[in-house]
């Protein structure tokens, strides 16, 4: 798997076999406060479908919005944030 950041969005590339191991999402969004985003989404009717949990890039969860869109939200580790943003 390869990951590239474009603003607050991630583009993830890899083989179909590697992608099959990941939950499905229509977008990945980088956020600064994962807990706050989770509260905000819940207040608007979104349902958490996976997580929150941690991985190599930081903490994340998947949420299904009322329109059916499945979105991954990631709060990067401070080390990754420093590497990419600074």
pLDDT, one tens digit per residue, over 41-59 is 999 999 999 999 998 889 9
80 in helix, strand or coil? helix
Both tokens of residue 70? 């499945």
Q: Show the domain range for 11.
A: 2-85
Determine the Cα–Cα distance for residues 20 and 62; give it in Å rounded to an integer. 15
CATH number of the domain within which 19 lies: 3.10.180.10
* Residue linked to tokens 């903490």: 59
Share of the chain above pLDDT 90, in %: 50
Q: What tens digit of pLDDT does each residue of 11-29 get?
A: 777 888 877 777 677 788 9
Instruction: Please tell me the total count of domains within the chain.
Output: 1
Q: Structure pTM?
A: 0.74
pLDDT for the residue numbered 86: 66
CB contact at 8 A, 14 and 2: yes
Distances (CA, A) of 11 to 1, 2, 29, 45, 66: 10, 8, 10, 26, 23
pLDDT for the residue numbered 16: 83
pLDDT for the residue numbered 38: 97
Give the confidence band of 8 by pLDDT, cuts at 50, 70, 90: low
CB contact at 8 A, 31 and 73: yes
Q: Say if residue 1's pLDDT is above 80.
A: no
């Amino acid at each position: 798997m390869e990951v590239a950041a474009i603003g607050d969005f991630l583009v993830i590339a890899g083989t179909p076999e590697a992608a099959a191991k990941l939950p499905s999402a229509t977008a990945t969004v980088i956020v600064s406060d994962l807990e706050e985003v989770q509260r905000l989404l819940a207040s608007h009717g979104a349902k958490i479908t996976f997580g929150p949990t941690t991985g190599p890039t930081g903490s994340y969860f998947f949420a299904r919005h009322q329109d059916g869109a499945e979105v991954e939200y990631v709060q990067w580790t401070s080390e990754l944030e420093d590497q990419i943003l600074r």
